[in-house]
Amino acid sequence: MRSAFLYNEKFSGLEAYKGYPWLFERSEVTYQLAKRLGLLDHEWISIFTPEPATLEALMAFHTEEYLAVLKEANNGHFKEEWLHYGIGTTECPVYPGVYDYHALAVGSTLLGADLVERGEADIVFGPTGGFHHAGKDFAAGFCYLNDIVLAIKKWLQRKKRILFVDIDAHHPDQVQQAFYRHSRVMCISFHEGGHTLFPFKTGFQDEIGQGHGRGYTINVPLAENTSDEEFQWAFENVFVPVAEKFQPDMVLAAIGVDTLFSDPLSHLQLTNRSISRAVRMILRVAPGLVALGCGGYVLENLARTWTLAWAVMNDLGPKEEDAALFGGMFWGDSLASLQDQPHFVPDSLRQKARRHLEEVVGTVHKSVFPILQIDV
């Protein structure tokens, strides 16, 4: 096994405005914690320093006009006409370095895609990535450039079959849109439903692709207050059989941590136990994996959960899912476990979430599984 951690200190040090939810320190805190715990000090692990994506690379998805506007916004001076492109809103403000930061994020993800495609790494993790709301010519939801779409497009040029799985709290609307008619890209998303969370208008279970892509888009919208047990049940009953049937050449995973109960921007009740278990299941079906950080709006959650995910990717994590502590010399006496303690959710809320998910998963089984020739 060969693993690659993508890190560039230039990801940090930016500021949009006081209180902006996007945490630029995400790569830094994950890298520093993983380093402190010895999770980067193994012969099969390499650290790569990404460089910004070129304009030519960005134009594989984004329009030249939009890129020119975003590049001009890099100086931090707002122009009202940019609102037409979603640039200058509260979600996607203008700030010094906005183009540089997002071009670097795309460069990081494209580097990861190259490393896996060339066989130089089996597993790649880039904490700064997963900008799944950026459209061809607009910014939305903290996302200005869509690194996921660009990476998948690169793999498609190499005639690969790609499985994209997204466990962020928000639906990856623009990734779905980009590949809605493709049969060589399987898009699976587990997210809080659009009735209660951005982007609101997409991500419902009846969205299953069109044309040649019919059956190759799968959405599992989660109800408010969904907890670990319900999420894990849905993941096992949808992701696992679909991934095994699809048999991808490459897997790209968006590992958002805004599904956690302590995150302020969603209404779910998960712990990072669910995330680590999902990562284990993804690893079992991934010939090559690029994992990206995606959303998450509590710095401690980002650092702990993505460091835990990195440990799991490298078979350095807990051997038992129910273990409360890693413990011993691995962590040191002063450090608590990265793995969350179980989080209590009242039975009444869990039962409601379970009924909702049983209906959603049942719909997926009836509408998609026959197309893919999967036995229920």
How many CB atoms within 10 Å of residue 136?
13
The token duo for 342 is: 């179980």
The token duo for 187 is: 């898009």
**Cα 320 to the chain's mean position, in Å?**
24
Q: Interhelix angle for 299-313 vs 26-36, to 10°?
A: 50
- Which residues neighbour 36 within 8 Å (Cβ) at sequence distance 6 or greater? none
Nearest residue to 131 via CA among 290, 256, 297: 256
**Which residues are designated catalytic?**
133
**Cα 324 to the chain's mean position, in Å?**
25
3-state secondary structure of 4: strand
3-state secondary structure of 300: helix
Nearest residue to 219 via CA among 268, 263, 178, 180: 180
Distance CA 108, CA 111 (A): 5
For tokens 């700030």, what's the residue? Answer: 95
